[in-house]
């Protein structure tokens, strides 16, 4: 039987194979699956436990949708059915476990804004480094190739 002679229902089912394969890969990847999540109000951290036994924590101020939230709202966390995402229903905020593991705490715009705030931060060490660089003539010119 060739592809052109397959019934329509078979063709439809074959189109679903890649999505089913992707879901299967997610389900069998324990490193990116959360089994529990909670807010530790004493330490002011969201703690996520993974299927492989590891856990990690992050301050909610870093995450989009959580930065201004009250402790009571942060305490209500739901896991997605596959354990790949966290949802705060009182805040209507969602974050992926995989994204959190690699340091993505929101959309690109949120991350850009967060990075800009960090770049504007001042410290004695940053001031001293800028002075030392200026004493050497400033930023080196780009070499023309």
The per-residue pLDDT for range 57-88, each reduced to its tens digit, is 999 999 999 989 999 999 999 999 989 999 99
The reported pLDDT for the residue numbered 42 is: 96
Domains of the chain: 29-104 (3.30.2020.40), 108-135 (no CATH)
What pLDDT does 70 receive?
96
| Packing angle, helices 17-27 and 8-15, rounded to 10 | 30
**With contact defined as beta carbons under 8 Å apart, do 35 and 81 qualify?**
no
pLDDT at 30: 54
pLDDT for the residue 2: 54
60 in Cβ contact with 69 (< 8 Å): yes
pLDDT at 118: 66
Return the pLDDT at 25.
67
Q: At CA 112, angle to CA 110 and CA 105, rounded to 5?
A: 45
Please list the ranges in the chain whose pLDDT falls under 50. Answer: 1
Output the pLDDT for position 110. 75
The first and second tokens of residue 1, run together, are 């039987």
Q: Over the Cα atoms of the chain, what is R_g?
A: 23
């Amino acid at each position: 039987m060739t592809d052109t002679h397959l019934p329509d229902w078979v063709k439809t089912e074959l189109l679903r194979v890649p999505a089913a394969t992707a879901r299967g890969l997610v389900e069998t990847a324990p490193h990116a699956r959360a089994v529990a999540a909670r807010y530790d109000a004493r330490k002011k951290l969201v703690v996520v436990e993974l299927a492989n036994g590891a856990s990690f924590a992050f301050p909610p101020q870093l995450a989009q949708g959580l930065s201004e939230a009250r402790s009571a709202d942060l305490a209500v966390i739901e896991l997605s059915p596959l354990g790949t995402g966290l949802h705060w229903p009182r805040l209507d905020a969602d974050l992926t476990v995989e994204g959190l593991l690699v340091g993505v705490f929101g959309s690109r715009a949120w991350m850009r804004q967060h990075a800009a705030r960090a770049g504007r931060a001042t410290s004695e060490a940053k001031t001293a480094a800028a002075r030392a660089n200026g004493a050497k003539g400033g930023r080196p010119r780009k070499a023309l190739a």
